[in-house]
C-alpha cells in the first residue's frame, strides 16, 4: 500500500474511475438502446452499425478521457502512460503477437466463435469494408486502452498501489466482456493482469494497445477466412 495519497491524487483517481465507469455505461446504454437495435434490425447489413458503435466507443472512452484530463484536471497526457515505445516495448509486442496469432488461428475455427465473429455479419465483404472494419478496430482499441491501461491505471497507482490497481483494472476490464459470454469474460482476467503489469513496467499503454489490436484483427481475419458463408468480393470497376 502506498503512503497516504495527497488530495490531488485522490481527485485524479476518482476522475479516472468515474470517466471509465460512466463512459462504459453511456456506451452500452446507447448501443443497446431500443432505437439503436431497431435501426440495426431494419438494415440489410450490420456493418454501419458495428463501425458506428466502435466510433461511439472512441467518443466516450478516448475523447472522454482527454476531455477530463485537459479541461477538468488540466493535466498533460504524459502523466498517464503515454511514454514513447522503446526496444523493450517492441520485443514484448512481438512476443505476445507470436502467442496470440497461432492461438487465434486455432480458436477462430470454433463454432461458438464463428457465431459471434466477425462482428460484421455480411456474407460478402469488399476490400474497402475489410479496411474500414480494421481501421475502426484500431481507433476503438486506441481509445479503449488509453482509458483503461492509460488514464485509469496510472491514476490508480499513487492511491491504491501496484497490485490493487492492476486488480481493479482487470476486474472492470473483465466486467465489460460479460455481454460477450463467459469464455471471453474469464479469458479477460489473465490477459488483463498481464497487460496491466506490462503497462506499469513499461510506463505506457502501448504494449496493451498493440497486443489488443493483434488479438482483435487476427481473430476477425481468421474468423472471416474460416466462416463457411463469408467471402471477399472484388469491387466493381
User: 81-127 pLDDT, tens per residue?
Assistant: 999 989 999 999 999 999 999 999 999 999 989 999 999 999 999 99
- pLDDT for 28 equals 92
Q: What's the total number of domains in the chain?
A: 1
In which region does residue 203 sit, left (phi positive, over 0), alpha (psi from -120 to 50) or beta (all else)?
A: left
- pLDDT for 175 equals 86
Taking residues 222-234, report their average pLDDT.
Answer: 94
179: confidence class by pLDDT, cuts 50, 70, 90: confident
Does residue 2 belong to any structural domain of this protein? no
Q: Residue 235: is it exposed, middle or buried by C-beta count within 10 angstroms (0-12/13-18/19+)?
A: exposed
Beta bridge partners of 232: 125
Does residue 74 belong to any structural domain of this protein? yes
Would the pLDDT of 227 be above 80?
Answer: yes
Taking residues 7-25, report their average pLDDT.
Answer: 95
- pLDDT for 16 equals 97
- pLDDT for 3 equals 65
- pLDDT for 4 equals 79
- pLDDT for 235 equals 64
Does residue 28 belong to any structural domain of this protein? yes
139: confidence class by pLDDT, cuts 50, 70, 90: very high
- pLDDT for 126 equals 94
**In sequence order, which ranges of the chain are alpha helices (DSSP H)?**
7-31, 34-41, 47-57, 64-67, 87-107, 111-114, 127-145, 153-160, 162-175, 182-202, 206-226
Does residue 1 belong to any structural domain of this protein? no
Residue span of the structural domain in which 106 resides: 7-232
Does residue 118 belong to any structural domain of this protein? yes
Would the pLDDT of 137 be above 50?
Answer: yes
Taking residues 116-143, report their average pLDDT.
Answer: 96
- pLDDT for 2 equals 64
Higher pLDDT, 181 or 34: 34
Q: What SS3 class is residue 108?
A: coil
Would the pLDDT of 219 be above 70?
Answer: yes
Q: How far does Cα 170 stand from its chain's mean position?
A: 12
- Give the β-pairing of 124-125 and 231-232: parallel
Q: How far apart are CA 20 and CA 40, in angstroms?
A: 26
**In sequence order, which ranges of 68-152 are alpha helices (DSSP H)?**
87-107, 111-114, 127-145
237: confidence class by pLDDT, cuts 50, 70, 90: very low
Taking residues 14-30, report their average pLDDT.
Answer: 94
Question: In whole numbers, what is the pLDDT of the chain averaged over residues?
Answer: 93
Does residue 237 belong to any structural domain of this protein? no
Does residue 104 belong to any structural domain of this protein? yes
Would the pLDDT of 215 be above 90?
Answer: yes
- pLDDT for 1 equals 55
Q: How far apart are CA 186 and CA 153, in angstroms?
A: 20
CB 5, CB 159: distance < 8 Å: yes
Would the pLDDT of 132 be above 50?
Answer: yes
Would the pLDDT of 162 be above 70?
Answer: yes
Amino acid at each position: 500500500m502506498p503512503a497516504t495519497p495527497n488530495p490531488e491524487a485522490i481527485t485524479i483517481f476518482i476522475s479516472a474511475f468515474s470517466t471509465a465507469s460512466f463512459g462504459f455505461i453511456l456506451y452500452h446504454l446507447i448501443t443497446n438502446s431500443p432505437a439503436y437495435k431497431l435501426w440495426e434490425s431494419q438494415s440489410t447489413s450490420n456493418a454501419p452499425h458495428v463501425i458506428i458503435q466502435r466510433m461511439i466507443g472512441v467518443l466516450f472512452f478516448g475523447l472522454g478521457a482527454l476531455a477530463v484530463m485537459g479541461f477538468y484536471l488540466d493535466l498533460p497526457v504524459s502523466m498517464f502512460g503515454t511514454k514513447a515505445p522503446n526496444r523493450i516495448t517492441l520485443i514484448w509486442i512481438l512476443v505476445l503477437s507470436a502467442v496470440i496469432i497461432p492461438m487465434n488461428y486455432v480458436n477462430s475455427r470454433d463454432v461458438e466463435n464463428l457465431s459471434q465473429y466477425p462482428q460484421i455479419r455480411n456474407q460478402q465483404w469488399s476490400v474497402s469494408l475489410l479496411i474500414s472494419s480494421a481501421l475502426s478496430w484500431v481507433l476503438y482499441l486506441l481509445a479503449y486502452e488509453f482509458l483503461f491501461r492509460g488514464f485509469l491505471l496510472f491514476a490508480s497507482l499513487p492511491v491504491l498501489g501496484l497490485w490493487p490497481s492492476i486488480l481493479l483494472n482487470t476486474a472492470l476490464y473483465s466486467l465489460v466482456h460479460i455481454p460477450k459470454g463467459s469464455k471471453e469474460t474469464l479469458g479477460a482476467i489473465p490477459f488483463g493482469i498481464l497487460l496491466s503489469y506490462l503497462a506499469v513496467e513499461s510506463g505506457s499503454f502501448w504494449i496493451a494497445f498493440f497486443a489488443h489490436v493483434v488479438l482483435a484483427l487476427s481473430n476477425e481475419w481468421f474468423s472471416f477466412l474460416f466462416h463457411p458463408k463469408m467471402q471477399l468480393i472484388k469491387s466493381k470497376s
